Structure 1
Amino acid sequence: MSQHSEIQQRAKFDQVRYANCWEDADILVEALQPAGRFCVSIGSAGDNSFSLLAEGAAQVIAVELNPTQVACIELRKAAYSELTYDEFLILLGERDGERLPLFERCSSHLTQDSLAFWSSRMEEIETGFYRHGKFENYFKLFRNRIIPLIHSRKRVAALLQEKSLPERKAFYDKVWNSWRWRLLFNLFFSRTVMGRLGRDPSFFDYVEGSVADRILGRTKHALTELSPHDNPYLRWILNGCYGESLPHALREENFETIKANIDKFTIESRPLESLLTNGQEKFDAFNLSDIFEYMSEQNFRALLEQICSASNPGARLAYWNMLAPRSRPEDMADKLQSLPELSEQLHLQDKAFFYSRFIVEEVL
C-alpha cells in the first residue's frame, strides 16, 4: 500500500492554501460525536481539528502533508497554549491589537521549521495570519473587486441582517439575485479562475460539469434557507472577518476546553496514507475534509480500505464532496455503513455552502 497521497504528485505545496478551515465544524462534530474518541483529522489550517478537541476527543492527530499548513496548525496550537482568548483572536487577525509581542510569546512553542517559516513572513503576522492563504486572497479579490460591481456595501450589510425565512427569500429574489450577480459569479467561480486564483488547477482533475453552476445553487441555499446573519464563512467572504458569528473553534465557550486539553493534540506532517500504514493504533473517528475530491476512484477505494483496517468497530468517517462525487462503494457495504439520513440532515445545515454533499459513514 502506498504511503504517499496522489495529490502530492500533482499539486504544489509551497504556500499556505488555507489560512482558515472552510468546512463547517458544527456539522462535523455532530457527525463524528468525538467525545472519548481517538480522532484523526485532516489538518488544513487546524480549526476543525481543534473543534474535535473542544468536544471531548480523547486524542486528536492532525495529519497534514503541506509543511506551510503545518506551520498554520502549529501557530494556532501555540496560541491556544500561551494566550488569553482575546489575545488569541488578536493574533489571528479577528480583533485589532499589537500582534508581534503575541507572536514572540508563541514562538518558543514552534518547531524550527515553522518558526523559520513565520519569521520570514512577519508582515503576515502583523496584519493577522488568518488573512493570508491563497483561498483567502481569492475571496479578498471577490470582496474588493467583484462585489462592488454588483452590490453596494449598504446592500451587503442588509444581506447580513437578521431576517425570517420569507424575508430572506424575498430579499434574494428581489434585491440580490440580479443578472449582474449571476454573470460575475459564474465568471469568478469558473473552473479556470478558481483553479488559477483559489485552488490548484490539479484539484479539478476529477471534476465534471460546470463548477460555477453548482456553487451558485448552493449559495442560493445559504442566502435563503440558512441565515446569512449567523454564517461565519459568508461573513468572512463578504467582510474579511467573522465579526459576531465565529466558527466553532474560535468561540469563547470552546477556548478554555481546547487550552486545557492541548496536550492531547498532536500534528503529523505526512500523508494520511503513511499514518495508516503504521498498523499499531486503531482510530475511532476521521475528519477527512474533502481529500477524496483530489484522487481517482481507484485510489479513493484503496484509502477507504486502509481506513477501515485502521479503525475500531463503530468508527465514524465524515467528508465533503464539492464537485467530484465520492462515497462508499456498494461492494464495501460489509465493512462500511452509509448513514444517508444523518448525512442529508447535516448537509442541509452546512454553513460552508460550496459543498454539494456531506457524507457520514460508520465502520462495521
Structure 2
Amino acid sequence: MKLIIGAIATVIGLIMLAFIGIVVLVVDDDTSADETTDGGGGLQGVPAEFRKWILKADADCKEPAMTPALLAAQLWQESKFKTTVAEATSSVGAQGPAQFMPGTWATWGRDADGNGRNSPWDIGDAVIAQGRMMCSLLRQAAASGYPGGPRALALAGYNAGWGRVQQYRGVPPQSFANGETYNYVQLILSTMSRFQGPSLVPVAFSGSGTGPDALRKASTELGVKYSYGGGTPAGPSTGFCDGVNGYLNGRCDASRTRGWDCSSLVQYAYWPSTKLPRTAAAQYGATSNRPVARGDLKQGDLLFWSNSSGFIYHVALYAGDGKVLHAPRTGKRVEIASMDTAMPSADYLGATRP
C-alpha cells in the first residue's frame, strides 16, 4: 500500500529498502499471548481481535484465490498486527493495521464494526476494507491473463497500485522501486503457511509419476472454496444448485462462488495427461478395473465414498500418511484431511489408480 503515489515511487522505494531488507532476512516468529491457534476456518496464529474480521472478510469474498491465511500474512507484513498511531503509521503516511493511504481509504473504508466511525485504525473497519480491496484486485487479476497467479498480482496491486501491474503486465520486477513490491509479494506468499490452520497444511508430496504430479497440481488449490457443480479442467468456476445441493444458509451459494467440487478438482488434477470424466461416479466407472487395497495406496490414487443406495457421492486424492486432499462440501474449502474423518468411514467404497 506504500506505492500509491507514482511520482514519489523511487523515493518511497529508497525509504523502505532498509525495512524490506531487514524483514526479508529476519521473519519474527514471536506470537502474542492472546493469539488463537485452533486452526478453525483454516486460520491460526493471529491475535483474537483480528480473527473474526479476517474470517468475515474472507467469507464476504467469492474469489477462489482468497483465503484467511492470505489476509493474515498480508496484515503481518503491513503492520505485524499493530494498531497504535506510533506503531502503525508508515513514513509515507499509510495508516492502521492494513496500512491504507488516506486517498485509498476514502474509496474502500466503511464503518464495518458499527461503532459510529469510519477509521483505518479500527480493526474491523481496516480488515474488512483490506478484504474488499483485495477481493476486487483478485477479480481483476483473474481476468487480466497476466502471468504470476491472481494472489501475486493482487498483492502487487495492493502495494503499488493496479496501474503498475498493468504497466509491467505482471508483478513489477525487482528493478522497480528497489524491489519493494517484488519483495512484498514474495514475502507474503512465503509466510501464508504460518497462518494456515491444520486443515489446510499440506503433507509432504514426494515421488514422480502421474499420481504424485496430479497431487501436486491439486495442492495448488488448497484453500479455494467449494462450489457444487463448479470447476473445469481450465480452473475454478461458479457452480449451480439442484434443489438439494449447493445451498448455504438457505441461499444458493454455488451460483455465486467460483471454486471446485470433489470430482472437478480430481479431473483438473489429472488433466490433460489423463482425461477423467466429470463426476465421481463416472470417475469410478472409468478406473474401477484398477482397484487398490487400502494397504497399497499411493499418492494420487482416487478414493471413493457411496451411500446406502450405492450412489457414489464423493471422490478424493490420496495424499499419503493416511490423509486425503479433497473438496469436501458447500461452505468448506479444498483441504488436507484424515482419510478416516474426511467422510463417514462406513461409506468408504474403495480406491482406484487412474
Q: Which has the higher helix share?
A: 1
TM-score by length of 2: 0.27
Which one scores higher on RCO, CA 8 angstroms, separation ≥ 6? 1
TM-score by length of 1: 0.27
